[in-house]
Amino acid sequence: MSGYLSSRKLGNVKGRMRYITDEKKQENIVDYYNTTDKEFWTILAKESRERHKETKAGGKCCEARELIIGIPQDSNVSAKDICDTFKKRYGVECTCAIHYNKKNKAENKHCHLIFSERKKLSVPETREEKIAMRTYYYDSKGHKCKKSEAVKVVKKGTILQKGTTRYFSDKNEHFKSQKFVYECKEMILRELLKIDWSLRSEKQNKELSEKHIGKNNPKEKYIKQNNKLKQKLKNVCNANDFIINEEKGTSLREFKKDYNISNFSATNYEDNEYKVNYFIKEVQSTYKDRVKNEVKEYNYINGDVNTLDINVNYDNNLNSIKESIISYYEPETKTRSKPRIIEILKEKLTKMLDRIVKLIYIQDSIYIEDKNKIELYQDKVNNNLHIEDSSYEKEQKAKDERGLEL
């Protein structure tokens, strides 16, 4: 669920707040925060219902709105962090409950962010009662007309508007828009929760979303196989964006451009299937080259760290090599202090190793067969990484043989 965010209307804001904070109904309430008091929500709900009735809009009254947000399991974000971020951006009161539950071995950490669409006025507005000073006549279109043409009559003395006191502003219509949802995803998912989200990837997921198959649909077989192809392409594109270190959505855009694809409908299945399978082979090739290059870079830096770590002062040749290494990393580290350079490089190696490990796990997403998968292990003596892969081993063997001949 991590990375999920949806918006919905609340017809009973007080009831919803009781539900998300009820320990009997929630498996585990991790955290809760409210930017205001309970009285605020009571007054808001009452005024929202009154104003909804005045406007005669019909339907169910929307007292407030709610965002349901998926949170990464390892995130330490608090309910206060989420509320403060939201209120700072939009200036409205909100309340947040973070929940955690585990069903069918699947862990689910998420939050419910309830917010007001109205701002509380610093000074309440008093609206005087309005009474019809004379009789008015209206036609079928609601326009004033002559008595003989009238279909509606408002008699003199009729109350047109009751006297009321308003504590809140009008609703912010922006909260109803899709643009608002995208803003929240950028603000909360990307900036606060550090989730790799982008508008481009959002649009990509919509473009490759599976088509619903209705009951007794004669094209069910073809739609199913096309849905499977789109899911396959989505997996490969998302994986390739990570492989090539680009923003999500880049691979799909380039794939459509390079292979001249306009849509992914079932009618174009055969042609698209051929192109997708060819694209997967290209991604697999890119993947193996990228892993090998990143492992080589890791080992190169790790070798420099190991050399700098050697505590021998009487070897002039070694000292010369250390000075050369320090000079090489000086522009990047902005220092010539050996301990500081070692510290910076070790931090860099940790990040590099984390990415390489993720690259190894990504092989299923680009459909590499088990017999062709890359395996990685780390030398316990010098911390260098080693690749186990049939093609890579052949390549290394050939290099060794050429070295022996020389």
DSSP 15-48: HHHHHHT-TTTSS-EEEEEESS-HHHHHHHHHHH
pLDDT tens by residue, 375-396:
999 998 899 999 986 555 545 5
Helix intervals (H) in 91-157: none
pLDDT at position 353 over 90: yes
CA distance 277 to 53: 58
Does the pLDDT value for residue 398 go beyond 70?
Answer: no
Measure the CA angle with vertex 323, ends 318 and 329; round to 5°: 125
Q: Which residue has the higher pLDDT, 162 or 74?
A: 74
Looking at the chain, which residues constitute the CATH 3.30.930.30 domain(s)?
Answer: 5-121+173-191
pLDDT band at 212 (very low <50, low <70, confident <90, very high): confident
| Angle, helix 199-207 to helix 250-258, in steps of 10 degrees | 50
Are 189 and 75 a contacting pair, CB within 8 Å?
A: no
Average pLDDT over residues 231-252: 90
| Strand pairing class (375-378; 385-388) | antiparallel
Question: How far apart are the C-alpha atoms of 326 and 334, rounded to whole Å?
Answer: 10
Give φ, ψ of 288 to 5 degrees: -65, -40
Q: Residue 391 has what pLDDT?
A: 57
Tell whether the model's pLDDT for residue 251 goes beyond 50.
Answer: yes
Topology of the domain comprising 5-121+173-191 = BirA Bifunctional Protein; domain 2 (3.30.930)
Whether 12 has a pLDDT exceeding 50, the answer reads yes
- The predicted model gives 236-257 an average pLDDT of 90
CA–CA–CA angle 235, 374, 361 (5° rounding): 40
The pLDDT value recorded for residue 165 is: 80
For the record, the structure tokens of 16 come out as 């919803």
Give mean pLDDT, residues 321-346. 93
Q: What percent of the chain has pLDDT over 70?
A: 91
Is the overall model pTM greater than 0.75, yes or no? no
- Contact between 365 and 235 (Cβ < 8 Å): yes
Give the angle subtended at the CA of 48 by the CAs of 111 and 21, to the nearest 5°. 25
Q: What is the average per-residue pLDDT within 124-137? A: 76
- pLDDT at site 405: 44
